[in-house]
Amino acid sequence: MDPRIGTALTVLIGVPAVLIGYIYLTEIALRALPERYKPRARPWLWLLPALAFLFVFLIYPTIGTFIRSFRNADDTDFIGLNNFQKFVSSDATLIALRNNILWVIFLTVFCVGIGLLIAVLVDRVRYESWAKGVIFLPLAISAVAASLIWKFMFDYQPPGEPQTGTMNAFIGVFGISPVPWLQIDTFALNTFALIGVMAWMWTGFAMVIISASLKSISAELLEAARVDGANEWQVFRRIVFPLLLPTIAVVSTTMIITALKAFDIVYTMTGGNFNTDVIANLMYKQISFGDFGFASAIAVVLLIAIVPIMGVNIRRFQAQEAIR
Amino acid sequence: MTAVAQPREITAPRTTSRFSRGLGRVGVHAGVVILMAIWLIPTIGLLVNSFRPAQDVASSGWWNGLFPPYNLSLDNYAAVLSEQGIGDAFVNSLFITIPSVIIPILVAAFAAYAFSWMSFPGRNLLFVAVVGLLVVPLQTTFIPILRLYSGISIHFGPLNFDTLNGEFLAVWLAHTGYGLPFAIYLLRNYMGGLPREVFESAAIDGASPVVAFLRLALPMSVPAIAALVIFQFLFVWNDLLVALVYIGSTNAANSPLTISIANLVTSLGGNWQLLGAAAFLSMALPLAVFAALQRYFVRGITGGAVKG
């Protein structure tokens, strides 16, 4: 028998048993405490496993990375801002930075724009759930599988060979010669191709949330506007869109974070070659090269880019708690 | 339908607007169908090719597989499962995913219960900190954890290793830490919305917090837990980065599907029939889970995002 099955069974039964056992144990331990301290101590015992994991896997390493970003490759010496200087002076990082900016702008615009378009369109057809399912499905598959699906779409054979890639076969019908989509970096064409793949995966996410918000707009309100003589475009522009704005803002922040963290698609489709690199892939490459100082500095840049969004999230959360 | 409801209002300008509305309807259908085609064709292309023999795939486009002679078979699937190690990788993915789903959800459930139904100083501040941790990029955590892991050496029973890097345990623990902020956030929002009277009357009847948690809070939170199971399952099963960092080059025998398939892209190049078969094997389970529990998934993301 595969020895891993033994381990897996131990984990499957053991871990829940240990965790639930822990909660029972805290109750027994609490009996030793005087009555008035019990309600004070109990929450901390319940939170302890979660706080321990959060500290060890998120807080401590973030501080560690921050410190390491000021140290050299093998973590033996303090080198001040050298790693950050390297970041702003190397062509590779600047291209990655430019690409990430393209990712943030265009992934957000594509996903939110097309998601909104689809949500509004399918609201008017009877096969709505089918259409939504089709758009939504890519969200369930891995970015690696999505990359394969699209690498095949973009497949390129030299002119004269049979074009089996769908895109090149399609443009071939119109007599256009085949294009090596993933290698052309003029106007960052290949980066846009990669962003398109990510948009194919994530548009369903934007669509589902916008669609749920769309359904919550009262039909009477829209009917009243139509009776007053507003045409469909005016109804959308003046009523539906403003009511959807808060939802669109929420979806946009999620898409911005997704774009900043983009990794799998670049790693699988181009490996960052042909000027398609992004910060997350650059950082992974530095880990595999063993330059932990520089890798840490890249991670810190990524963190700094995300911190403002963290602020927005917290403020929105507090606003919600206020109306709860 | 407007025309049926108000037939007497049909005047000249109305007729034009009905005509343009008719055009509009055609436009809506055309738009939806075109978008559906754009979303489906890439997948169908690779799916068809995954059933075709190598020489056909290299010499003609996938659409030829839709017309006779079909020449389709499952040979490519058999080949990747045995020869390319995709079978092993599938099992590894299961080993990685199942504990990585169970552990964080249980740990998060305790914390969410404490955040919802126990009062203690600093509760709101602590929860705001968890909300802040939601967006911390995983990249900022890799290096210190790698260093931490490399110092852990255990030789005890089934645990037998000199460094935690490369072990399944390394990924289980990491995914637990990474998955917790969202799990706590979602569960707390749900548990906090359960009716207060239920917990008050349980306390009056002498039920301890443990009993209230196991008998009331957990069973009542099943929809939120189901949504979380799908999120965490899809996240871990589809994850490439975390697996690359903590298992990656150290222990290739433990590679999940995502790493194995990413490697095949380099080693198999243009063998789309094999790459396609591997990709669809990796998609089978998440699509099945997704199809079965889609209701909870959609409710989870709309609830999570619209509510915040």
Q: A157-161, A241-245, A296-300, B178-182: which range is least confident on average?
A: A157-161
- pLDDT of amino acid B111: 96
Average pLDDT of the residues in B214-224: 91
- Total domains, chain A: 2
**B82 and B71, same structural domain?**
no
Confidence bin at A56 (pLDDT 50/70/90)? very high
Confidence bin at B27 (pLDDT 50/70/90)? confident
B129: in domain: yes
**A50 and A101, same structural domain?**
no
Confidence bin at A1 (pLDDT 50/70/90)? low
Structure token pair of residue A110? 């594509």
- pLDDT of amino acid A48: 95
Cα–Cα nearest to B261, from A237, A34, A148, A243: A148
**B82 and B53, same structural domain?**
no
Q: Is the pLDDT of residue A74 over 90?
A: no
A267: in domain: yes
Average pLDDT of the residues in A152-173: 91
Question: What 3-state DSSP class applies to B271?
Answer: coil
**A277 and A158, same structural domain?**
yes
Q: A188-197, B236-245, B299-308: which range is least confident on average?
A: B299-308
Instruction: Count Cβ atoms below 10 Å from residue B298 Cβ, excluding itself.
Output: 18
User: Chain B partners of A215 at a C-beta cutoff of 8 Å?
Assistant: none
Q: A81-90, A160-169, B156-165, B262-271: which range is least confident on average?
A: B156-165
Task: For residue B159, list its beta bridge partners.
Answer: B156
CATH number for the domain spanning A229: value is 1.10.3720.10
- pLDDT of amino acid B18: 55
Tell me the nearest-neighbour CA distance from A196 into chain B, angstroms.
11
User: Chain A partners of B46 at a C-beta cutoff of 8 Å?
Assistant: 148-149, 152
- pLDDT of amino acid B12: 40
B131 CB within 8 Å of a chain A CB: yes
B3: in domain: no
Confidence bin at B60 (pLDDT 50/70/90)? confident
Query: CA-CA distances (angstroms) from residue A260 to A15, A101, B59, B130?
Result: 34, 8, 39, 21
Instruction: Indicate yes or no: CB of A131 within 8 angstroms of CB of B36.
Output: yes
What is the average pLDDT value for chain A, to the nearest integer? 92
Confidence bin at A2 (pLDDT 50/70/90)? low
Instruction: Indicate yes or no: CB of B133 within 8 angstroms of CB of A58.
Output: yes
Instruction: Count Cβ atoms below 10 Å from residue B15 Cβ, excluding itself.
Output: 11
% of chain A exceeding 90 in pLDDT = 69
**B225 and B190, same structural domain?**
yes
Average pLDDT of the residues in B223-247: 94
Confidence bin at B3 (pLDDT 50/70/90)? very low
**A160 and A61, same structural domain?**
no
Q: Which of B75, B95, B128 is the last residue of a domain?
A: B75
Tell me the nearest-neighbour CA distance from A297 into chain B, angstroms.
9
Task: For residue B214, list its beta bridge partners.
Answer: none
B4: in domain: no
Confidence bin at A75 (pLDDT 50/70/90)? confident
Task: For residue A122, list its beta bridge partners.
Answer: none
**B226 and B151, same structural domain?**
yes
**A108 and A15, same structural domain?**
no
Distance between CA atoms of residues A4 and A1, nearest Å? 8
User: Chain A partners of B106 at a C-beta cutoff of 8 Å?
Assistant: 15-16, 19-20
Q: Is the pLDDT of residue B256 over 70?
A: yes
The whole domain housing B292 covers 77-306
**B108 and B22, same structural domain?**
no
B7: in domain: no
**B90 and B67, same structural domain?**
no
**B171 and B67, same structural domain?**
no
Tell me the nearest-neighbour CA distance from A162 into chain B, angstroms.
6
A83: in domain: no
Q: Is the pLDDT of residue B74 over 60?
A: yes
pLDDT tens-digit profile of B241-253? 999 999 987 788 8
**A213 and A117, same structural domain?**
yes
A75: in domain: no
Structure token pair of residue A223? 């009917």
User: Chain B partners of A288 at a C-beta cutoff of 8 Å?
Assistant: 249
- How far, in whole angstroms, is CA B261 from its chain's centroid? 18
Distance between CA atoms of residues B137 and B238, nearest Å? 17
The whole domain housing A14 covers 3-68
**B283 and B162, same structural domain?**
yes
Q: Give CA angle at B9 (B3, B12), nearest 5°.
A: 95
Q: Report yes or no: B200 and B194 within 8 Å, Cβ to Cβ.
A: no
Distance between CA atoms of residues B268 and B84, nearest Å? 10
Tell me the Cα Rg of chain A: 26
**A269 and A315, same structural domain?**
yes
**B293 and B145, same structural domain?**
yes
% of chain B exceeding 90 in pLDDT = 59
Q: Is the pLDDT of residue B304 over 60?
A: no
Cβ partners under 8 Å of residue A128, min gap 6? A122
- How far, in whole angstroms, is CA A235 from its chain's centroid? 32
**B119 and B65, same structural domain?**
no
Q: Is the pLDDT of residue B22 over 90?
A: no
- Total domains, chain B: 2
* Nearest-CB residue to A27 (from B208, B261, B279): B208
Q: Is the pLDDT of residue B14 over 60?
A: no
Task: For residue B1, list its beta bridge partners.
Answer: none
Please report the residues numbered 81 through 110 in chain B whose beta carbons come closer than 8 angstroms to any beta carbon of chain A.
91, 95, 98-99, 102-104, 106-108, 110
Confidence bin at B160 (pLDDT 50/70/90)? confident
Average pLDDT of the residues in B100-121: 94
A104: in domain: yes
**B292 and B158, same structural domain?**
yes
User: Chain A partners of B110 at a C-beta cutoff of 8 Å?
Assistant: 19, 23, 46-47, 49-50
Q: Is the pLDDT of residue B84 over 60?
A: yes
**A139 and A185, same structural domain?**
yes
Instruction: Indicate yes or no: CB of A49 within 8 angstroms of CB of B143.
Output: no
pLDDT tens-digit profile of A171-206? 999 999 999 999 999 999 999 999 999 999 999 999
- pLDDT of amino acid B23: 61
A209: in domain: yes
What is the average pLDDT value for chain B, to the nearest integer? 86
Distance between CA atoms of residues A11 and A111, nearest Å? 39
Please report the residues numbered 9 through 38 in chain B whose beta carbons come closer than 8 angstroms to any beta carbon of chain A.
17, 21, 24-25, 28-29, 31-32, 35-36
Instruction: Indicate yes or no: CB of A280 within 8 angstroms of CB of B241.
Output: yes
pLDDT tens-digit profile of A7-25? 777 778 888 898 889 988 9
Q: Which of B54, B75, B96 is the last residue of a domain?
A: B75
**A183 and A260, same structural domain?**
yes
**A203 and A118, same structural domain?**
yes
- pLDDT of amino acid B19: 55
> pLDDT: is B8 or A211 the higher one?
A211
Residue of B nearest to A292 (CA): B143
**A197 and A292, same structural domain?**
yes
Cα–Cα nearest to A262, from A210, A203, A197: A197
Residue B161 backbone dihedrals phi, psi, to 5 degrees: -160, 155
B1: in domain: no
Q: Which of B75, B96, B121 is the last residue of a domain?
A: B75
Q: A96-105, A133-142, A282-291, B7-16: which range is least confident on average?
A: B7-16
> pLDDT: is A2 or B207 the higher one?
B207
Tell me the nearest-neighbour CA distance from B298 into chain A, angstroms.
7
* Nearest-CB residue to A209 (from B110, B208, B305): B305
Instruction: Count Cβ atoms below 10 Å from residue A277 Cβ, excluding itself.
Output: 24
**A201 and A273, same structural domain?**
yes
CATH number for the domain spanning B223: value is 1.10.3720.10
Q: Which residues of B266-283 are buried (b: 16+ CB within 10 A; e: fewer)?
A: eebebbbbbbbbbbbbbb
% of chain B exceeding 70 in pLDDT = 90
**B59 and B126, same structural domain?**
no
Q: Is the pLDDT of residue B90 over 90?
A: yes
**A176 and A46, same structural domain?**
no
ipTM given for this complex:
0.92
B37: in domain: yes
Cβ partners under 8 Å of residue B32, min gap 6? A118, A121, A122, A125, A127, A131
Counting one residue from chain A and one from chain B, the pairs whose CB atoms sit within 8 A come to 326
Instruction: Indicate yes or no: CB of B180 within 8 angstroms of CB of A50.
Output: yes
